[in-house]
């Protein structure tokens, strides 16, 4: 396949791979006994994570041999996010691995395509829900082919937000301060267990806001989808100079535009940022 495809064609490739990987992980969970392990001593990983990662990355390498790949399981070298010379694919084969291992449906395959640090196309496929979120830059966002839009929330006290927590529990105090600030100012919290779906749910109006610190493969595709659905995307902390904002995963905040500044300010204050 040519490497000079249009963004729409690139998104088609990403969607095809996400759907096929989704079928693979669905079949693995339904037909086999899951094999699990831990990476970094605390983070659960399943055999299906690795299988899906290898399936996606092998297919990308075959089609686009000169592109780079940043994937959670087989190529997790975060320094690639700063290398802007060649196109980069960002892959999460199973976002929501703990959900996957426990039989929960909130699981997604996430594939993004970036050029010079800017994400141009993204697909998040939820195989158990049968939902595919997709966006290309400047072309809007869709869910199963239908256009989506953020909730339009304007009152923070009537807003539903989501966040997540790291597997390591040695530095929870700042996260609990942020949670305390948000839960006192919002309608309620939802803890879904998949950052990609959290963000896509903001994109389609099921949630009004989301914040967290995550890795590029968790959010790159969904962030574009939310932006193309009209949500405001950014950070409540500082993005290091020279680092692509689309791929900086610390202190992310994504929300309906009218409440975004208030959410950012609450999180900054709770974090002690000047």
Residue tagged 């001593």 (tokens): 41
List the beta bridge partners of residue 88: 68, 114
**Dihedral in degrees, nearest 10, Cα atoms 202, 28, 89, 5:** -100
Is 199 assigned a ligand-binding role in the annotation?
Answer: no
Report the b/e string of 191-217 with b at 16+ CB within 10 A: ebbbbbbbbbbbbbbbbbbbbbbbbbb
Cα Rg, the chain, nearest whole Å: 18
Q: Please name the residues in contact with 116: beta carbons below 8 A apart, sequence gap of 6 or more.
A: 84, 244
Nearest C-alpha neighbor of 200 from the set 222, 216, 218, 215 = 222
- Under 8 Å CB-to-CB from 204, ≥6 apart: which residues? 133, 143, 148, 149, 150, 229
Does 246 carry a binding-site annotation?
no
* Separation between Cα atoms, residue 224 and residue 134, nearest integer Å: 9
Tell whether residue 94 is among the known ligand binding residues.
yes
Q: What is the largest CA-CA distance in the chain?
A: 53
As annotated, the binding site includes 72, 92, 94-95, 218
As annotated, the binding site for Mg(2+) includes 72, 92, 94-95, 218
């Amino acid at each position: 396949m040519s490497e000079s495809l249009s963004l729409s064609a690139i998104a088609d490739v990403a969607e095809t791979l996400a759907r096929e990987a989704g079928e693979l992980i669905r079949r693995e969970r339904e037909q086999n006994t899951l094999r699990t392990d831990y990476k970094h001593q605390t983070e659960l990983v399943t055999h299906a994570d690795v299988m899906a990662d290898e399936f996606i990355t092998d297919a990308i390498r075959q089609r686009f041999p000169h592109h780079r790949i940043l994937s959670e399981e087989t190529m997790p070298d975060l320094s690639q996010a700063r290398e802007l010379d060649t196109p980069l694919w960002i892959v999460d084969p199973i976002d929501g691995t703990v959900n996957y291992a426990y039989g929960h449906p909130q699981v997604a395959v996430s594939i993004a395509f970036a050029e010079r640090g800017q994400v141009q196309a993204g697909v998040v496929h939820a195989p158990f829900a049968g939902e595919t979120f997709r966006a290309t830059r400047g072309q809007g966002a869709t869910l199963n082919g239908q256009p989506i839009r953020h909730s339009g929330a304007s009152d923070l006290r009537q807003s539903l937000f989501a966040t997540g927590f790291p597997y390591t529990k040695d530095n929870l105090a700042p996260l609990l301060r942020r949670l305390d600030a948000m839960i006192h100012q919002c309608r309620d919290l939802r803890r879904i267990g998949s950052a990609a779906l959290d963000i896509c749910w903001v994109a389609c109006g099921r949630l009004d806001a989301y914040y967290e610190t995550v890795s590029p493969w968790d959010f790159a595709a969904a962030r574009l989808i939310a932006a193309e659905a009209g949500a405001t995307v950014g950070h409540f902390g500082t993005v290091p100079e020279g680092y692509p904002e689309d791929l900086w995963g610390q202190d992310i905040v994504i929300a309906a535009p009218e409440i975004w500044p208030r959410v950012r300010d609450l999180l900054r204050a709770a974090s002690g940022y000047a």
